[in-house]
Amino acid sequence: MAMDLHSCAVAGDAGDLLVTRVYPVPARSQRTPFQRDRDRIVQSRSFRRLAGKTQVFTRRASDHFRSRLTHTIEVVQIARDVAASLGLNEDLAETLALVHDIGHPPFGHAGERALDECLRAHGLRFDHNLHALRIVQFFEQRYAAHRGLNLTLGVREGIIKHSRDYTAAEHPELAEYFLGQYPPLEAQLIDLADEIAYLTADLDDGVESGLLEIGHIREHVGILRRCYQRVAREYTGVDEKRLFYEALQWMQHALVDDLIHSIRGNVTSAGASSLAEVRAARHRLAALSPETETERIEEKQYLYDTLYTCAAQVEEHAIAAEVVKGLFDFWVAHPDRLPQSYIADIPAEGLARTVADYIAGMTDSFIFHQYEQLIG
């Protein structure tokens, strides 16, 4: 019999601490607090800009490759599936999936590394989770009464803690987010939903790009090989690419099913019967089984070796770093060339952080345009 985890789920009634906001809002009986947060995120400029931000490829043109936005939609599908199967709060899981990548700068991880290197020279760091929190609290301006989206405490906690933990010693400014405790299961599962989505999608986009070959993937990625063999036995006379697409679906199903089963088992083993006990557990309870985790690591290493660091991608990453660093240095030297709204932030935020904030919000096409205009 399927076990649900309602007792461990984040409650949705208005008396729950996690549905409180910094600024009071009128009640809306037709929508839960997390549904309202979802709608605020979807209507934000930062969310719309995900359509113009890289997932894997920056300059390799194809309408078929994932953007940050289409990747986010795939993460939402997985997160809702897992949350529903476990009896968790689907609205919170969906909202956190929608917002999980909103803090990423242009050019994917290459852009993030470059921006972090720029800030290190000024004694600062770039962390996309913390930047996402700044976006929803400060940069989005949709309301007359205040800056930010005024999201619930539960969503703000999940934004920063879904993929890593922060200490009070390092980040005293985050004290309200239950530092020293693990986040709810709805937040914990987002990082793995993200992994499952891109492990599937990046094989797909890698083959579509011509950088990966299906036969080579089957030879080196065990979980995909098993799924492909199963599909090939069932469908004879079907071309390799269609079998590959079908195998990718089976692989994703296998990863999702394992995650659901593993979370149930971990919660039972930990004796967690409430959100408080999830928070106080010895480790995060959202995890893949040891066997599947080994397969995940194998596939991730394969993607790193054959796709993320292949010669074509290394060239793209070098161009990304040149553009980010070039513009960062330009605006640090010429802050008067920043938009007026960012110039106004310099006294409070400092010049380096303000420049990084401006760059982080850009789409890939916009930052290339800025580079061509200002540097050439």
**Using CA atoms, how far apart are residues 375 and 234, in angstroms rounded to an integer?**
57
Residue 7: which pLDDT band, with cuts at 50, 70 and 90?
confident
Mean pLDDT value across residues 113-140: 96
**What pLDDT score does 191 carry?**
97
Residue 6: which pLDDT band, with cuts at 50, 70 and 90?
confident
For the chain, what is the HEC assignment?
CCCCCHHHCCCCCCCCHHHCCCCCCCCCCCCCHHHHHHHHHHCCHHHHHHHHCECCCCCCCCCCCCEHHHHHHHHHHHHHHHHHHHCCCHHHHHHHHHHCCCCCCCCHHHHHHHHHHHHHCCCCCCCHHHHHHHHHHHHCECCCCCCECCCCHHHHHHHHHCCCCCCCCCCHHHHHHCCCCCCCHHHHHHHHHHHHHHHHHHHHHHHHHCCCCHHHHHHHCHHHHHHHHHHHHHCCCCCHHHHHHHHHHHHHHHHHHHHHHHHHHHHHHHCCCCHHHHHCCCCCCCCCCHHHHHHHHHHHHHHHHHHHCCHHHHHHHHHHHHHHHHHHHHHHHCHHHCCHHHHCCHHHHCHHHHHHHHHHCCCHHHHHHHHHHHCC
Mean pLDDT value across residues 256-263: 98
Mean pLDDT value across residues 70-78: 97
**What pLDDT score does 312 carry?**
87
Task: Give yes or no for a contact between 102 and 46, defined as CB atoms under 8 angstroms apart.
Answer: yes
**What pLDDT score does 16 carry?**
86
Return left, alpha or beta for 350; rule: phi > 0 is left, psi -120 to 50 is alpha, else beta. left
**What pLDDT score does 83 carry?**
98
Q: Residue ranges per domain, the chain?
A: 7-374
For 229, half-sphere exposure in the C-beta direction (CA atoms, 13 angstrom radius) is 8
**What pLDDT score does 64 carry?**
75
Residue 138: which pLDDT band, with cuts at 50, 70 and 90?
very high
**What pLDDT score does 58 carry?**
66
User: What's the whole-number average pLDDT of the chain?
Assistant: 94
Q: Of residues 363 and 66, which shows the higher confidence score? A: 363
For residue 333, pLDDT beyond 70: yes
**What pLDDT score does 14 carry?**
44
For residue 3, pLDDT beyond 80: no
Enter the pTM of the model: 0.95
Report the amino acid identity of residue 201.
A
Please check whether the domain covering 7-374 is classified as CATH 1.10.3210.10. yes
35-39, 54-58, 205-209, 315-319: which has the minimum mean pLDDT?
A: 54-58
Residue 68: which pLDDT band, with cuts at 50, 70 and 90?
very high
Mean pLDDT value across residues 336-361: 97
**What pLDDT score does 33 carry?**
94
